[in-house]
Structure 1
Amino acid sequence: MAPSVTENIILSATDKDVTLADRNTHATRVAGKDVDPEKKALFASVTKRIDYSPKIGTELHGIKLSQLTDQQSEELAALISERGVVFFRDQEDLDRKEHVKLGARWGPLHIHPLVPHDQESPEVIILDSRLNPPNRYNTNNSWHSDVSFEPAPASYSILKFDEIPESGGDTAWSNGYQLYDDLSQPIKTLLEGLTATHTSDIFRFFQANTGRKTFGKLNDSDHPIIRTNPVTGWKSVFTNSVFTREINGISAAESKWILEYLNDLVSKRLEYQVRFRWQKHSVAIWDNRSTFHTGVPDFRPYHRRGLRVTVSGEKPFFDVNSGTQAQAFEPIAEAIVSKQEAAEKSKEDAALQLA
């Protein structure tokens, strides 16, 4: 069978490559763990830092992702896990080769079992709105974490758009750490003892309706509902509206109610969310273990085209003794308050001197 290729994009598996994604594996180390908490090597190159909100989303200027040292790369992984998602502008030199190289620093690269990929590098998936007719699977406007159906789901995803619409087409992220922190203690205790099944059902449906061959097995996996991020040691909710089918060990009605409640919090609690306006050569890197994201489908009839590399992480786990973002944030909040109070006092002193 000849490959289905459009502009160097492989749309469907060939007979030879139907098991291509079966070589996916889990990370053998945790990138970003136990680095310098001040991240001095990374921030030595940063000319400007913009925090989108106190707890999620940071934009860094002055960094060229293709030129990171090993130490900077590790510190960046830690920052991404702490902030959920980190944004970069003006990364024109992050070509496909450098894109793959960056992801491979943090772990084995995932090959998606169905999404179209680059002909030369199957780890690079193509997100092109022209490949998205209405009857095709589409996770725009559907909050999810990438490939959570895998036994070892994604740790980090690296997305760069090389074609952006004149308006619309943002991406939004939601904070799984804060979602967990805001739950009442009885609900936390309940969820910490449960697992949920994450499935490839959305892709099976598409395959059944198109006959397209997949690049590998469409997996189903059971994961803890509350997950410990191995980099930060913080607890996060780990379910999503695209891939989580059911909670194990409870009734179907109870499972449906709990999942809908959690999905509702992800999508509607604006204080958990940040939104990124893409520019050409912008890059977003996020931690799928502790965030959810969605594309905003408001850009048609414009086109949007990007490349994504996904890093496979570890098998999800829950450590009852792990901490929380809320606990870690307490000294940061105190420092912010002290800085504001000092600024206000300085203004008052200046006003008194002029009086």
Structure 2
Amino acid sequence: MTVSTVEKVVLSASEEDSTLTDRNTHATRVAGKGSDPEKKALFASVTKRVDYSPKFGTELHGLQLTQLTEQQAEELAAFISERGVVFFRNQDDLDDEEHVKLGRRWGPLHIHPLVPHNNKNPEVIVLDSRLSPPGRYNTNNSWHSDVSFEPAPSSYSILQFEEIPEAGGDTVWSNGYQVYDSLSEPVKALLEGLTATHTSDLFRVFQANTGRKTFGKLNDAVHPVVRTNPVTGWKAVFVNSVFTREINDVSPVESKWILDYLNDLVAKRLDFQVRFHWEKNSVAIWDNRSTFHTGVPDFAPYFRRGRRVTVSGEIPFFEQGSGTQAKAFEATAQAIVAKQEAAAKVKEETEAATAAKSA
């Protein structure tokens, strides 16, 4: 690691920055809510759209994130909440300052209590495999939603890798909307009445083992097991294997059974997942309220280095009358089928006309 890299990263809190996380707060508005459902301003600049699956994950070309208008930024927030995670290539002008500027369009930025950060912008956390171990906890191969232990967890995360391994190092996301939609009605009814405790326990263990000082308080929080995304109005499962300690008001055996089952759906249902292969200066932006993600720890002996800003959202809530992605997708699915049938009909008519001419 070069000297300049070392100088840019703060690994442990000093007396001056041991209360940085006191700045953390919750969003006072819901970015993207009420924006144009057709997203005409956003897609006016999009040259290519690639959906990774029918319901989840999209790559957009033609956009520079540093040049979004206010209307485009609002429509992009809504689109991310609908698609779960959105990818961009060649965002080489997204430096630390622009990274912060983009995140603040959608809400206050979170300062992580333990992960190393940029010394000028503590909101910019540094994800450098050279620092682990012992510099940071490694969340590769660990499904989670960013900082769900906070009273107001993250709405959006914006991650860019400036150094990528020659092989490996992908990231995988899982769709919390689909996890919920896959459940039977009796299980949905059970989960909708429950809350779960999310904790910073793994950071407390790491702190005890390393003696590193945190940048502020390590929080715990209680959140609904099923939450409503305020942008889409859709229900999603909101527990994860890294930060969720227990389901409240049930026995320990029942808590383990529920968490094991839901975490298995997140990790093992490939039809709920998309996988992204990073290139230098690629960017992924995802909605933590409705997705889970994990790094893939397959890139040793190579290194990777990236930066992330994490936008603080609202206090999680559940509304009984919330909709679902499955219901909202019905019209889209019908349109896809109609388009396929129309294309098949045109092909059939063209082939018939060609055959008639040849006769």
Q: Same fold (TM over 0.5)?
A: yes
Aligned to 1:233: 233
1:11 and 2:11 matched:
yes
Between the aligned partners of 1:65 and 1:147, the Cα distance in structure 2 is 24
Moved more, 127-136 or 241-250: 127-136
Contact 2:180 2:237 in 1 (8 A): yes
Between the aligned partners of 1:135 and 1:294, the Cα distance in structure 2 is 19
Q: Aligned letter for 1:332?
A: T
Question: What's the TM-score, normalizing by structure 1?
Answer: 0.98
SS of the residue aligned with 2:197? strand
Between the aligned partners of 1:188 and 1:134, the Cα distance in structure 2 is 41
CA separation of 1:263 and 1:134: change in aligned 2, threshold 3 A: farther
CA separation of 1:26 and 1:136: change in aligned 2, threshold 3 A: closer
Between the aligned partners of 1:115 and 1:142, the Cα distance in structure 2 is 16
Question: What's the TM-score, normalizing by structure 2?
Answer: 0.97
SS of the residue aligned with 1:12? coil
Aligned to 1:175: 175
Between the aligned partners of 1:136 and 1:223, the Cα distance in structure 2 is 26
Q: Aligned letter for 1:162?
A: E
SS of the residue aligned with 2:286? strand
Contact 2:116 2:136 in 1 (8 A): no
Between the aligned partners of 1:295 and 1:134, the Cα distance in structure 2 is 18
Between the aligned partners of 2:39 and 2:293, the Cα distance in structure 1 is 26
SS of the residue aligned with 1:6? helix
Superposed CA offset, 1:10-67 (max 9, x none): 0000011111112100000000000100000000000000000001000000000000
1:138 is displaced (CA, Å) by 1.4
> What are the ranges of 5 or more consecutive residues in structure 1 without an aligned counterpart?
none
1:219 and 2:216 matched:
no
Alpha-carbon RMSD across the aligned residues, in angstroms, is: 0.9
1:134 is displaced (CA, Å) by 6.7
Between the aligned partners of 2:346 and 2:201, the Cα distance in structure 1 is 59
Aligned to 2:282: 282
Between the aligned partners of 2:22 and 2:245, the Cα distance in structure 1 is 22
> What are the ranges of 5 or more consecutive residues in structure 2 without an aligned counterpart?
none
1:253 and 2:248 matched:
no
Superposed CA offset, 1:182-205 (max 9, x none): 100000000000000000001000
1:335 is displaced (CA, Å) by 0.2
Aligned to 1:195: 195
Aligned to 2:184: 184
1:314 and 2:321 matched:
no
1:6 is displaced (CA, Å) by 2.4
1:135 is displaced (CA, Å) by 8.8
Contact 2:116 2:125 in 1 (8 A): yes
Aligned to 2:20: 20
Between the aligned partners of 1:96 and 1:215, the Cα distance in structure 2 is 20
1:354 and 2:354 matched:
yes
Between the aligned partners of 1:256 and 1:22, the Cα distance in structure 2 is 33
Aligned residues: 351
Between the aligned partners of 1:70 and 1:288, the Cα distance in structure 2 is 22
Between the aligned partners of 1:324 and 1:292, the Cα distance in structure 2 is 17
Between the aligned partners of 1:331 and 1:135, the Cα distance in structure 2 is 48
Between the aligned partners of 2:134 and 2:117, the Cα distance in structure 1 is 20
Q: Aligned letter for 1:320?
A: Q
Aligned to 1:302: 302
Between the aligned partners of 1:109 and 1:246, the Cα distance in structure 2 is 27
Between the aligned partners of 1:138 and 1:8, the Cα distance in structure 2 is 20
Between the aligned partners of 1:234 and 1:180, the Cα distance in structure 2 is 10
Between the aligned partners of 1:315 and 1:147, the Cα distance in structure 2 is 12
1:7 is displaced (CA, Å) by 2.8
Between the aligned partners of 2:307 and 2:129, the Cα distance in structure 1 is 12
